Amino acid sequence: MVVAVDVERVRARSLRRRSWATTSSSQAREPTAARVACPTKSRCKGASRERCSPLMQWETAQTCSTEALCDAALGQCSEPTCQGSDRRCNGADLETCSPEQSGWSKVATCASAAHCNASLGTCAEVPCMAGGVSAAVAELQICRADQLGWTTMTTCATPSLCDVASKSCKAPACFGQSIPMQRSELEKCNDARSDFTLVQTCQWHGAVRPGSDEVQRARLQAW
C-alpha cells in the first residue's frame, strides 16, 4: 500500500513538471517569433516609412518625397533639399537637383559665375542681356546694365513660384499644414507650395463642410 502511494506521487510530480516545461517553452518562443516578424520600430520600404503596429505587423506611417529621404533610424522623412527640376549656379558651376532630392549634382562648369544661367540650364556665351530676367533657385535676378552679371530682384517662397515672364513671384497657394478640402479627403500643401496633394481619403466626421467659411479660415490660419 505504501509503495502504491509513492508511485502515484511520483507520477503526479512528473505530470506537473511536463506541464510547466511546455508552458515555459511556449512563452519563450512567442516573443522570439514577434521579434522576427517586427524586429525594429521603424523601417523604410521604398519611399514609405513603416512602423511596427501593436499587432507586430508593418504599417505605413508616412510617405517621403523620395526613397533617399526616408530615415528609418530617426523614424521620419527628411525634408527635400530641392525639387526635381530645380537648377542653380554655385559660382561657375551649373548644378541641378539630384533625383533623390537630397542634394545638388554638377552639370557643367561655365567660363565664369556670370556665364552660368540657371534659368536656361546652360552656360551662356555672354553673361546676360541687359534687362533680362532669370530665376536661380528661389531668386528672381535681373541682368546688370554692363551685362557682366546678375542682381537679385526678389526671393520667392519656392523656386516653382518664380515667374520670369512677369518678373515677379507667384503667391503661395498653401503652406505646410494639412487642411480638409473635400468631404472625404485630407490634403496637404506640396513642397513647391503651388497646390494641395492628397494625403488620405477618409470618412468625414467633422462639423466643417466643404467650401464653408471655416475651411477658408483654416487655410488662412495655416498661412
Element (H or E) spanning 71, and its range? Answer: strand 70-71
At residue 4 the predicted structure's pLDDT band, cuts being 50, 70 and 90, is very low
Residue by residue, DSSP assigns 148-214 as S-EEEEEE-SSGGGEETTTTEEPPPS--SSEEE-SSSEEEEE-TTSSSEEEEEE----SSPPTT-HH
Please give the pLDDT value at position 114.
82
Residue 83 has pLDDT above 70, yes or no: yes
d(CA 112, CA 201): 51
Residue 95 has pLDDT above 90, yes or no: yes
Residue 115 has pLDDT above 50, yes or no: yes
pLDDT digits (tens, 9 = 90+) for 105-114: 999 999 888 8
d(CA 135, CA 151): 11
The answer to whether the CB of 76 falls within 8 A of the CB of 62 is yes
Q: What is the mean pLDDT of the chain?
A: 75
What would you measure as the largest C-alpha separation in the chain, in angstroms? 121
Give the residue-averaged pLDDT of 191-199: 80
Residue 31 has pLDDT above 50, yes or no: no
Please give the pLDDT value at position 15.
60
Please give the pLDDT value at position 96.
94
More confident residue, 202 or 191: 191
Give the residue-averaged pLDDT of 71-78: 88
Domain ranges of the chain: 42-77, 87-169, 178-222
C-alpha separations of 83 from 57, 86, 112, 128, 145 in Å: 33, 5, 25, 25, 31
At residue 70 the predicted structure's pLDDT band, cuts being 50, 70 and 90, is very high
DSSP state of 131: T
